[in-house]
Structure 1
Amino acid sequence: MDESETFDPETRDAREVAAEAGQEPTDFLSLLPHYYRGEVGQMSTAISRLDLTIDWAIGVIAAVLALSFASVDSPPYFLLIGMLALTIFLVFDVRRYRSFDATRSRVRMIEENVFANAFNPEGSVHREWRSELADDLRKPTLKVSIREAITRRLRRVYLPLLSVLLVAWLFRISLFVPGERWFETAAVPGVPGTVVVVIVLSYYLVSLAVTLWPTSRQAKGEYHAVEPGEWKRDE
């Protein structure tokens, strides 16, 4: 290869090759689909990771329920271990959900301002969408606060799963073994049953408060507060 044809990334022309593509409509439109497919691929991977965490959470619930109700001699604190495991899964899930939403926000920015405008040029377009997208690519930021992410994941997934364990635990310490007093059954080694019950109920009250506490929405989702049209239906 001739030296004049080699690519030197330190030269001014090499650094500005992408900038030139961004100024030419034809070059920009040929570059955009490749970037869009890459973002969609990252978003799909993030969704798969979220689904995997939920699958593990459901598997843990099935395991602790089987162990706790296998016989009257099975210790009920297996269900408490399941609650702890779900809480750990929630922590992982929140971090993954925030990363997923950051990618989804970029995908939605392109869909709203490029593809939607191609279908209907009369619609609204965010005037600074290219600058905002470029800034986010240079310095990626999370769009959803930890509090909102916890609230959304509790509301959609983890509070129902935790509720299953709570109902099972209350049944296990009260009715599963006739003749046993609940505070004796609820006890774990070194901790009285009354203390265990107070801790568990306090945990669920806090979880319920976090789930129901109103927060301003920052997540870049779809199908929320949208009036159904001719081809959209309420599920």
Structure 2
Amino acid sequence: MAHGEDDDFEPEGRHEREVAAELADQRAEFVGLMQHFYRGELGRTTDWRARIDRTTNWAVGLTATLITWAFSAADRPHYIIIGSLAAVTIFLYIETRRYRIYDIWRSRVRLVEENVFANAADPEGVVHEQWRELLADDLRRPTLKVPFLEALSRRLRRVYFPLMTIIVTSWGFRIAIFSPDDVDAWEAATIDPVPGTLVVAAVSLFYLAMFGITVWPAERLAMGEKREPPEHVSWRE
């Protein structure tokens, strides 16, 4: 049996276990590795972006269907539009979770773009001096970089608050247009056995709460989105 160089291969040896460490000091091999890494992370980003878009499509499609059905006849219950508001809120929660996971891959893609490709195109220096350490740390210990409230605010601002505004406005028109002449708007908003005043108050408070989160002025933590990050906030936060 022929013996070759592989006879000295030790799977449990430190050299074999850390074989990729050799790439750190070899420029050409490291750049090639970054290219493959970038393609992989970009694929993940695209996949999760598509998942977010699917949730948005479900929310818009369901809302359009229920509002159209509620306005199709005078005897349709107005609270079906409120039901669409509840469904959209569930979709908002799902999409917020998906956005936080999507941001893991997006942040890695931006880190490579900012510090590898941008510097290759115009070598003025890297954006993050310790970008390799930041990337290695995130690969070893992946973290959700965007707080839930910030992610919620982002999805509300981009899609869901305008959608909720359409729902609430449609609900108000539905009550005003189809309520009998001898019934005022407050009574027409009743969802038996809940009185109309309480229904209107609950919808109004919910809408105002969503508006507050949408315009939330707190400092944003997501990095690499066409703006400079705050100096005291690290990339992983």
TM-score by shorter chain over 0.5:
yes
CA offset digits 1:48-89 (Å, max 9, x no partner)? 001000000011111111221121100001001100001000
Provide, for residues 131-165 of structure 1, a one-character-per-residue CA deviation record: whole Å limited to 9, x for no partner: 01000000001111111111111111100000000
Q: After TM superposition, give the deviation of residue 223 of structure 1 in Å.
A: 3.8
Which amino acid letter does the alignment assign opposite residue 220 of structure 1?
A: M
Equivalents in 1 of 2:3, 2:184: separation in Å? 88
Amino acid at match of 1:37: R
Partner SS state of residue 175, structure 1: helix
| Alignment partners' CA distance in 2, 1:87 and 1:23 | 50
The residue aligned with 1:105 is 107
Q: 1:194: how far off?
A: 1.1
CA distance in 2, matches of 1:30, 1:124: 18
Aligned to 2:194: 191
Matched with 2:157 is 155
The CA distance in 1 between the partners of 2:200 and 2:127, in whole Å, is 55
User: Structure 2 unaligned runs (5+)?
Assistant: 229-237
| 1:211 aligned residue | 214
Shift of 1:2: 6.1
Tell me which residue corresponds to 1:228. Answer: none
What is the aligned partner in structure 2 of residue 84 from structure 1?
86
Give the root-mean-square deviation of aligned CA atoms. Answer: 1.9
Instruction: Give the whole-Å Cα distance in 1 for the aligned partners of 2:102 and 2:10.
Output: 35
Distance 1:54 1:153 in 2: 10
Partners of 1:224 and 1:113 lie apart in 2 by 15
> How many residues are paired up?
225
Distance 1:34 1:9 in 2: 25
User: Does the 8 A contact of 1:101 with 1:220 survive in 2?
Assistant: no
The equivalent position to 2:28 in structure 1, one of 26, 29, 47, is 26
CA separation in 1, counterparts of 2:105 and 2:123?
Answer: 25
C-alpha change, 1:3 and 1:92, in structure 2 (3 Å) is farther
Q: Write the distance in 2 (CA, Å) between the matches of 1:122 and 1:35.
A: 23
Residue among 134, 137, 150 paired with 1:135: 137
| TM-score normalised according to structure 2 size | 0.89
- Alpha-carbon distance change, 77 to 27 in structure 1, aligned in 2, over 3 angstroms: same
Shift of 1:46: 0.8
State the distance in 1 between where 2:12 and 2:166 align: 60
Provide Cα deviations, 1:155-203, integer angstroms capped at 9, x if missing partner: 1110000000001000111223341322232111321111111100010
How many Å separate the matches in 1 of 2:67 and 2:19? 60
Where does structure 1 lack aligned partners over 5 or more consecutive residues?
A: 226-235
Deviation at 1:11, TM superposition (A): 2.1
1:10 maps to 12
Q: What is the alpha-carbon distance in structure 1 between the residues aligned to residue 116 and residue 136 of structure 2? A: 15
Q: Secondary structure at the match of 1:222?
A: coil
